[in-house]
Amino acid sequence: MTVPAREQEPGTTCTLHPGADGAGVVRRTVLPGGLRIVTETMPTVRSVAFGIWAGVGSRDESIEDAGASHFLEHLLFKGTPKRTALEMSSLMDAAGGEMNAFTGKEYTCYYARVLDSDLPLAIDVVSDMVTSSLIESQDVEAERGVILEEIAMHDDDPTDAVHDEFAAALFGDTPLGRPILGTVESIGALGQDRIARYYRERYVAHNLVVSAAGNIDHDEVVRLVEAAFEGSRGEAGRAPSAPRIGGPGAVPNLGVRSIDRPTEQANLILGTVGITRTDERRFALGVLNAALGGGMSSRLFQEIREQRGLAYSVYSYNSQYADTGTFGVYAGCLPAKVDEVLEICRDEIAKVAEHGITAEELDRGKGQLRGSFVLGLEDTGSRMSRIGKSELVYDSLLSVDDILARVEAVTLDDVREIGREVLGRPMTLSVIGPFDGRDFTL
């Protein structure tokens, strides 16, 4: 177990993982105002990924603030007292770098990928926009229109929209059940004053994590970040915010949410409440997910697509949050085939819930998890994301070897137990397609 950031003395640096031969060394510095800086060295590459993670997402929003986290993601690119939006983008383009951001249910990240020689530029530009955004009225109005277009584009794609409908069906009118983008009504109602206040209250040093991975020196990153955060370091002696662990949990709203649209294909998700991201059984659930619908050899893919040709896309997935999670099966098929596809999904879920998986599926699922995890860490961006997100939402950073060992330790009994618990729960169904008010029953 690594030392939790809130227990580390402000102004000190510790090594979270020693790495080997100078590679993979993960270090953390906690500045006096509670800002955390975590880095991982990758000396064999010529690039750097730099990110700033804010511990705020859509589930932190009141009804009046719905969509504010994502609204801010847009506004922080619109300029600071130091640079206009065009100047920021021109600097990154001239360096051949890329800069972007994303908003989740529980965090927001702003990041850049550049050549290692351009690290000072990336730190300066991203830190400036995160700490010193102007949030001006004309920018709010301009981006309001952009976000409304984004919502319309999202709603026009049923493969995206069905996931929002499933969250709304499963969690109801709660922050987890509402869309990250907000709604047309909520975005239309958000004013400049409210967004600016949300920004000032949430984007504070102790609620931020800076992460960097690539051909870097930790001490140099700390020096550059300290300079970039001059005037935004927070209250001296303030401890970092505690990781988002635990909470009230979620009681599923069981039933069916059917949206009638004149689409050529029906899109559906059948699922239920899952487990939290700190639940030790998450590795067993990952193996189960791989066997049920996580790849081309999975039960759902073989039965629905390969054997019967009923769908082009079919898969299962699980997502975890601080206090709850989701497990779902997605399929897109011709409207006339939806009953057959649903029946197969229910049957395969019931089989795994009652009997678990086979030894062959266990080995294949472990291999899939190991391979996808390790291969996903082959670039600086994924390494930066892993250490930044872990610092924000976990109490410790597991090493790659620790995670692989926990995957390997999963047994058939472990999978059977978590399958019986999660897949044995009553299911929620969301459907989008041309069904003219048809009553789907579970």
Catalytically active residues are: 73
Nearby residues of 98 by Cβ (< 8 Å), 6 or more positions away: 92, 112, 113
Two structure tokens written together for 167: 């969250």
Rg (CA), the chain: 23
- DSSP letter at 417 equals H
Report how far apart, in Å, the C-alpha atoms of 139 and of each of 47, 136, 180, 200 are.
32, 5, 20, 17
Two structure tokens written together for 108: 């927001």
The SS3 call for residue 29 is: strand
Alpha-carbon gap, residue 266 to 311, rounded angstroms: 10
Q: Is 309 left (phi over 0), alpha (psi -120 to 50) or beta?
A: left
Residues 219-224: contacts with CB under 8 Å, at least 24 apart:
220/119, 221/37, 221/39, 221/119, 221/123, 222/13, 222/29, 222/31, 222/37, 224/119, 224/120, 224/123, 224/124
Report how far apart, in Å, the C-alpha atoms of 307 and of each of 88, 297, 300, 425 are.
52, 12, 10, 28
Residue that has been written with the tokens 């939790």 in this structure = 4
Report how far apart, in Å, the C-alpha atoms of 68 and of each of 33, 188, 195 are.
25, 11, 6
Phi, psi of 189 (to 5 degrees): -90, -15
Q: Is 181 left (phi over 0), alpha (psi -120 to 50) or beta?
A: alpha
